[in-house]
Amino acid sequence: MAQDDPVVSAQWLQQHLGQPDIKVKNLSSTSVYSVLGVGCFMVHATREQGSMARVPDGIVDRTTDLPHMLPSEEAFAAGVSALGIKNTDKVIVYDGKGFFSAPRVWWMFRVLGHSEVWVLDGGLPQWRASGFNLGNNCPDDIVLKSKAANSAVETAYSGELANGATFQTEFQPQLFWTLEKVKGNVAAQAHQLVDARAKGRFDGVAPEPREGVRSGHIPGTTCLPFPEMFDSAPMLLPANELSKKFEQAGISLDHPIAVTCGSGVTACIVALGLYRIGKHDVPVYDGSWTEWEAQPDSDYPKITSTAS
């Protein structure tokens, strides 16, 4: 379990599940390692994932209409504390697709000060392919913790103090970009901005999945679709192969990089790949194209299929 690598293998996790200090099912206060299952960032975990706690979709910013934006420090601390996670825990996240939503949760923990977090390489598909056992029940305490986490976030956003917070945050601004930060970079070009969406959406010739959002991209951005980060298993590519992917896309690894996508989820997959090759402070534009596209064209320029 290396600090310079953002993933752990299914074999590593299997070997460590039997240790007394690893509490997978209940995430008790005595656990040293916590395993969080996120079947899909916006969808409830399946029953076969139910024996492992999950990050509820309610741990998001509730003051905006933008999808699944990073919550406030107070809300994140309240929600994660309700799940039974402490700052002393090592957190491993996985999802049902292999690589989709888990890297987003990995980034959320890191941007809010918890560096002891890893992604299960290949997620649930790789766990299955390795022949390891799956949970076959959904204990009541998992459901209760999920409800408690959502309630704690609601309490935090209502201005009330959440009780019994066990998790303390420490915001890491170098990992987080806002709309205005991106606007400044469009002019200054201090960072290379990499877009993780599919090429068609980036070029403005394929539709965006969200109604009313035009396809296209932020000026000066380079497209590197997130599936380029892993193989067909899917497993995160070795560092040398990842480096080649960026170089082939015209992205210099010797200069600063920031990442974006449609709504801040798949950009975190590209950030995961960059972390493996040694770039640990890559910021994610949280609002991404969904936020940028909604702004006035005169102040926030866009390159679309209809742009002149």
What is the rounded CA–CA span in Å between residue 216 and residue 197? 10
| Spatial contact of 9 and 121, defined as CB atoms under 8 Å apart | yes
- Name which of 52, 112, 51, 123 is nearest 80 in CA terms: 112
How long, in residues, is the chain?
Answer: 308
Query: Is 40 marked active-site?
Result: no
Whether the Cβ atoms of residue 223 and residue 202 lie closer than 8 Å to each other: yes
Name the catalytic one among 40, 138, 223, 261.
Answer: 261
Tokens found for residue 96: 């049902």
Which whole-number Å values give the CA distances from 163 to 62, 149, 153, in the listed order?
19, 12, 11
Strand 176-177 to 284-285 pairing: parallel
Residues 6 or more apart whose CB falls under 8 angstroms from that of 211 comprise none
Concatenating the DSSP letter of every residue in 6-27 gives: SEE-HHHHHHHTTSTTB--SS-
Q: Are 10 and 122 in contact (CB under 8 A)?
A: yes
Could you write out the DSSP letters of every residue in 158-217?
Answer: TTPPPSS--------GGGEE-HHHHHHHHHH--SEEEE-S-HHHHHTSS--SSTTPPP-B
Q: Which residues form the catalytic set?
A: 261
